[in-house]
Every structure is written in C-alpha cells, then in structure tokens.
Amino acid sequence: MKTVLIGVGQAGGKLTRELADFDSRMGFEAVLGTLAVNTAEADLQELPFETVLIGQDRVKGHGVGGDNELGAEVMQSDSQEVLASLEGRITAEAEAIFVVAGLGGGTGSGGAPVLVKELKRIYDVPVYALGVLPGRNAGAMYQVNAGRSLKTVAREADSLLLVDNDAFRSSGESLGEGFDAINREIAQRVGLLFASGEAVEGVGESVVDSSEVINTLRSGGVAALGYASGESADTAEGNINTVMSTTRRALMTGTSLPEASRADAALLVVAGVPDQIPRKGVERARRWLEDETGSRQVRGGDFPLQSDRIASLVLLGGVERSDRLQQFMERAKEAQKAAETEKQRGDPAEAWQNDELEDLL
C-alpha cells in the first residue's frame, strides 16, 4: 500500500522518521513521502525531511505545552500552509495517507483530528490515523487529552490504528530509550503492513493485495495490529505449526492494543519465503482467527519475503468494543474528574479542561 506519512507533534515526527527508515532499510518503497508538522521548532530540527512549523504567531516556535485545544486551533488556522506543503507529494500512485501522532500531548492530540478532516475534504484516497495512547503511568493530562483526541480522530479518519505505549514497554529503560524501542516495534509492524501488497516477486493468487488492507480497515472506527515471528521449519508440517503459533502469538501477546481480540474484520498476512508458506497453515490460522475475533470477514494472504523466519501480521478492524479501550476511556474519565475536583479547589494549574468526556460509543 503506497502511503504518504504526515507526523504531527513530537511523537508523530519521530514515528514517521522510524517508519520511513524501516521502509528504506527493507527496500520496500511503500512509503511515498513524509512530512512533519509541529508547533515546537526544536523537535522539527532533528528530522531529516520536510517540515512545517505551525502556530508561530501564537507560540513562537515553543510548542503548545500539552494544550490540545490550542494545538487544534493553530492547526486550523495554518492548515493551508500544511496542505500546500503536501502538494505534489500525494501523487496518483498514493493509495493511503496516514496522519501519525501521540494522542496524549498537545500538538498531535489537537492537531491530528483537524488535519485528518481537512485531508479528507481534498483527497479521494483513504485518510487513516496512526495514534499512540499514553501508558498508564503517564500523567492525568495525557489521559484526558488522549481520551478526547481518540474520539475525534476515530470519528474523522477512515480508521484509527491504535498503539498503546504499554503494549511494548519493557522494564529498566529510561522514558526516552523506552520510546525509541517502542517506535522501532511500531515501525516494524506498521512498515510490514504498508509493504503488504507491494511484493514484486512471487505475485500470485495468494499474495496479499493493498485493497485487502483497505477493505479490512473499511469498517472504520479503531484498528489494531498484531505481529509475531518464528523460525521456519524443514517440513511442511513444521511450517503449518509455525504459522499457527505465530498467528496465535500475534493476536494474544503481540498486538498494538492488548486484549483487543474481538473485531469486525481481520486480515492475516503471512510473510516468508513463498515455498515455505504452507497453504494449509494459512487457511487453518485464518479459520482460527475467525473463531477468536468473532468475525466472518477474515481475509488471508502471503507476503513473499527472503527470510529464514515466518511472520504473522494480524490487522484487526473495528476493535472499539475491546476491554482495553473501555478501560482506557474509564481511566481518561477518572483523570478528568480528578482534574475537575482540583479545579474546584481553586488550583488553576489543573484547570485545563471542563467539558464532560463521554463514552466512546
């Protein structure tokens, strides 16, 4: 799926960079173009591609400091400049646009939904969002911001592919190192998803096509992506077992949104050397996914790749009823209530939002 990436905010820019690097390292050429947008000049300076600084008149390049309403406002007033920078980048080859952002901050949280809406008015290709949920240790402001942003992005985008920062966190790392590791995990799986359907060799009936990714995401709402890999075996029977076990792990422990296993639609992509991908194994794993997700719309296909491993990539569309997401919305609502109480006590520093945060559905 030929994709144009637009990173908004700090996390958005860093993830866009990681995705572009992965795509070029693997030689996939699925990433057609990249752009980063931010209110903080310092964050843009580190990025090796075109950038747009927005809100200069309001924040003078210093960022919006976690104020996502201000993030939304400056994106709205400077959207023409952002859209102008995209001109010529979204060519006829482009099959999708991804707006990438951390949902808990200010610029990405507020700006991404606004940008998605503007892009959808102009372009015919699907406009998706890749959104990062703050981990449970992140402060209350992040939870409240993300709760609001998530609802708005999910409504505006053709689909919101969600990544929970807690899904990949390993212990003993500093926050910065932790983010870099998470970004690499995200880039690997999302990068493989982009590259699905871009295979040049072994094109045949069983090879996955970009339209299958788009059709799986078509159910709208929130999507998640699972991944796991294992060593390929010497026998067909061994490879059937490998495909089954990597698919199980991809869904059960390797997903970007833990505990999201019920879905409206799913796509299983099995990557590996073509003659080591067992038809029987892919079909068995696909049927297993139907049972687990409760969906009758589970597509399956191959992704020919030179590797001594076999990998399963599981894309889930329509996971908004998942327990994890409901838990997150509860967390965001509680954080907002706590902030309200603080405000009533007269602490102006905590008075960042007043509106009621409603249920997702």
Are the CB atoms for 221 and 318 separated by under 8 Å?
yes
The CB-side HSE value for 351 (13 A sphere, CA atoms) comes to: 6
- Considering only residues 14 to 53 of the shown chain, the ones binding ligand GDP according to CB under 6 A are 14
When asked if residue 138 is in the footprint of ligand GDP (CB under 6 A), the reply is: yes
Best CA proximity match to 225, nearest among 343, 294, 314: 314
Selected binder of ligand GDP within 34, 51, 159, 165 (CB under 6 A)? 165
Report how far residue 283's alpha carbon sits from residue 272's, in angstroms, rounded to the nearest whole number.
16
Q: Nearer to ligand GDP by C-beta: 13 or 301?
A: 13
Q: Which is nearer to ligand GDP, 170 or 211 (CB)?
A: 170
Choose which of 33, 104, 191, 272 interacts with ligand GDP (CB under 6 A). 104
Other C-beta atoms lying within 10 Å of the C-beta of residue 65: 14
Q: Which residue number, 95 or 118, has a Cβ lying nearer to ligand GDP?
A: 118
Question: Does 148 engage in binding with ligand GDP (CB under 6 A)?
Answer: no
Nearer to ligand GDP, 42 or 84 (CB): 42
**Under the criterion CB under 6 A, does residue 142 sit at the interface with ligand GDP?**
yes
| Smallest separation (angstroms) from ligand GDP to the CB of 332 | 12
- Single out the residue of 106, 131, 272, 304 in contact with ligand GDP (rule: CB under 6 A): 106
Per-residue exposure over 253-285, b if at least 16 CB sit within 10 Å of its own CB, e if not: ebbbbbbbbbbbbbbbbbbbbbebbbeebbebb
**Nearest of 84, 37, 39 to residue 58 by alpha carbon:** 39
318 binds ligand GDP (CB under 6 A): no
Sign of the C-alpha dihedral computed for residues 105, 111, 117 and 122 taken in this order: negative
295 binds ligand GDP (CB under 6 A): no
Q: Output the CA–CA distances (angstroms, integers) from residue 4 to 29, 35, 204, 220, in the order listed.
A: 11, 8, 26, 19
182: contact with ligand GDP by CB under 6 A: yes
Site size with ligand GDP, rule: CB under 6 A: 19
Q: Is 49 helix (H, G, I), strand (E, B) or coil?
A: coil
CB of 199 to ligand GDP, least distance (A): 28
Cβ closest to ligand GDP, residue 14 vs residue 249? 14
Residue 223 identity: A
- Say if residues 7 and 100 touch (Cβ distance below 8 Å): yes
For ligand GDP, the binding residue among 179, 194, 227, 352 (CB under 6 A) is 179
Q: Is residue 9 a contact point for ligand GDP (CB under 6 A)?
A: yes
**271 and 306 in contact (C-beta within 8 Å)?**
no
Which helix (DSSP H) or strand (DSSP E) does residue 299 occupy? strand 298-304
x/- letters, 57..96, toward ligand GDP (CB under 6 A): ----------------------------------------
Interacting residue with ligand GDP among 1, 4, 5, 11 (CB under 6 A): 11
* Piece in contact with ligand GDP (CB under 6 A), picked from 118-126, 132-140, 153-161, 326-334: 132-140
Q: Tell me the CA distances in angstroms from 102 to 90, 123, 153, 247, one per residue in order.
A: 23, 23, 12, 28
- State the binding site for GTP: 10-14, 106-108, 165, 183
- State the binding site: 10-14, 106-108, 165, 183
Which residues contact ligand GDP (rule: CB under 6 A)? 9-11, 14, 102, 104-109, 132, 134, 138, 142, 165, 179, 182-183
